[in-house]
Chain A
């Protein structure tokens, strides 16, 4: 009797102690995840070219040369984030996936602009840095034709290049969440904020030179404030025992926290020429005096659109398709957000295979 009553009295107490122990362990894990960096961008690569802060990397092939695709692939990411999201973590990396599918993969990393780069504009990125990187890339691979994949502002730069240099070997162009058409001013927070008469991009650039990464990061997070400032941490806490989800969260958070400034002149151009005046679609955009005509774009185009994208709403990418000069063009809509369609858990079953199939048919 006595033993039974002692046991029943102790069991709840032991349970409480166990729960506290578990909670303390979870708090320690939570703190560690918030204060440390995950190992990201681990796929082996060689630096093959540099110019100012820009670096061109070639990833080490993962398949023998024989079954490899003849047309190499150049990846271009946005200018205000690090490109590591393309190679997030081993086992869940777009770069790794494409290498295994037999592509010769290169990455152009724009680098982190310093105060001396405040005058870098889309003119420089499109007509100075990118052509030079491509020249080196063609020299190394020996391939005169190549494929290019641009994501976010990287897709904008890729589109500008494709329209201005249609004869320089670009065969296939993959655009991911490409912000190109800003005619709908009410589409998404950025469009509305940037188009507002009170928003003065010139003043921001005059003040800061380069636009601080913290300001860009805060702006992006304010598009969905509760999800970004609260929800992400609540989700982490709820899934803290799930090793797979925790490691995915940690990798993504490491990338999100790695914020960089944006070159002032490019920011001014993005707000004034693109968001406010929609010059690319209106046909009034010139880079270094050369008019940009989307009808000149002759590469095959795959335009991948995220249906729940709050940064680049689908209308900013989709309507522009009719303006491209190429006959071989396709839109692929994917369920997911701006980053999730390429770095989310489902990307390797949805977006990546589609890109591979589309490119493979045009890469030999």
Chain B
């Protein structure tokens, strides 16, 4: 595991311990890498993740609708409102980008090709 571990002095007790530690970690690492690459691990983690997300879904939806209702009652914008606004801004940015590209094309010399700029 460690680069120092390969150069230990057998008369140095800490060096011997370090060598034992490295050997143990190498074995542990191989075992764990093998374990996480098995079908059983893949199936178990997939099923566990799916179960936990499914179980939390009703609470999450309840929380979201309660929060949205509370904000609406307080005349406050919700998260969804902000998301819609941000999406609209991105669309406007894209239109501006198109206009900028057209201006760049107009600014190009009539002979074709672009100006080479250096910063």
Contact = CB atoms under 8 A, between A and B. Distances in A.
Interface residues of A, number: 49
A203 B46 contact: no
Contacts of A20: none
Nearest to A203: B53
Interface stretch (A92-100, A231-239, A335-343): A231-239
B4 A238 contact: yes
A3 interface: no
Contacts, number: 131
Interface in B78-119: 79, 82-84, 86-87, 90, 93-94, 97, 100-101, 104, 113-119
B46 A196 contact: yes
Contact of A225 (B36, B38, B45, B118): B36
Nearest to A232: B1
Contact of A203 (B1, B25, B54, B83): B54
Contacts of B3: 235, 238-239
Interface in A220-265: 222-227, 230-231, 234-235, 238-239
Nearest to A231: B1
Given A51-B93, A207-B56, A234-B1, A198 B25 contact: no
A143 B116 CA distance: 8
Query: Could you say which interface size class chain B belongs to?
Result: 35 or more
Contacts of A230: 25
Contacts of A204: 49, 53
A50 B115 CA distance: 21
Main secondary structure of the interface of B (DSSP, over half): helix
Nearest to A230: B25
B63 interface: no
A197 B50 CA distance: 11
A193 B43 CA distance: 7
Given A116-B83, A198-B50, A203-B53, A227 B29 contact: yes
B33 interface: yes
A210 to B, nearest CB: 11
B57 interface: yes
A332 interface: no
A115 B119 CA distance: 35
A69 interface: no
B42 A199 contact: yes
Interface string A202-226: 0110110000000000000011111
A138 B100 CA distance: 13
Given A207-B53, A224-B33, A230-B25, A65 B97 contact: no
A195 to B, nearest CB: 8
Contacts of B93: 50-52
Interface string B1-12: 111110000000
B117 A140 contact: yes
A51 B97 contact: yes
A142 B113 contact: yes
A132 interface: yes
A106 B11 CA distance: 55
A208 to B, nearest CB: 9
A231 B3 CA distance: 11
Closest 4 CB pairs of A and B: A198-B46, A116-B86, A142-B114, A199-B46
29 contacts: A65-B118, A114-B86, A116-B82, A116-B90, A136-B101, A141-B114, A141-B117, A142-B114, A143-B116, A189-B37, A189-B42, A192-B42, A193-B45, A196-B39, A196-B46, A198-B47, A199-B42, A199-B45, A200-B49, A203-B50, A204-B53, A207-B53, A207-B60, A225-B29, A226-B33, A227-B1, A234-B25, A235-B1, A239-B2
Given A144-B113, A199-B50, 10 more contacts: A58-B119, A115-B79, A140-B114, A142-B114, A142-B115, A143-B114, A196-B39, A203-B53, A227-B29, A235-B2
Interface of A: 46, 50-52, 58, 60-61, 65, 114-116, 128, 132, 135-136, 138-144, 188-189, 192-193, 195-200, 203-204, 206-207, 222-227, 230-231, 234-235, 238-239, 310
